[in-house]
Chain A
């Protein structure tokens, strides 16, 4: 089955700096790559997603890049703010809309 690896597991950056989280996957047939933000005790919230026919997508301070050949995709957060502190999960489809999640990255923004 699909194997998703997410790095780093923890990330601490100064407010205003950029944060980058990377995920690799194994199934070349995967075609949908969302990123979720989860605050403690709450549901995951979709923050951005990308499909396999696109290489990059941006939404204000958040961007996602996809390299299908290398089978990896990354989340980029610029001008980080304290409210960006949370756990971030990448996910990959494994057919029929079923998502496989990465291990998660705990992002801490230091004021």
Chain B
């Protein structure tokens, strides 16, 4: 079955530093990946849609200069939280879509828990 690997699973960083999270589709090509953020006891909120070879599409209210997304290949998308602050502490989850058209089944990564001190 479809497998999405996300790394790191957890990270602690100092305020003001940048953190990169990787999302890889291991056994299929993903033309589209999505990045979600989940605060404790809340739902998954879509941050952006990552498209291979083109710029990401950000949801309203998400700062594109703060959350940099790169989808340079069909199997890898990265999310970089720049100049992280404590309020950025959250559970970040990526998901990937298989390449076939019309398929809406997403496969989620295991998530990355970010703690900013």
Contact = CB atoms under 8 A, between A and B. Distances in A.
A30 to B, nearest CB: 10
A18 interface: no
A7 to B, nearest CB: 13
Main secondary structure of the interface of B (DSSP, over half): strand
Contacts of A49: 105
A44 interface: yes
B108 interface: yes
Given A43-B93, A46-B105, A97-B32, A102 B43 contact: yes
A42 to B, nearest CB: 7
A104 B105 CA distance: 19
What are the 7 tightest A-B residue pairs by CB atom distance, in nearest-first order? A32-B104, A43-B108, A101-B44, A101-B43, A104-B43, A97-B104, A43-B110
8 contacts: A34-B104, A43-B111, A45-B108, A89-B43, A98-B34, A98-B49, A99-B106, A101-B43
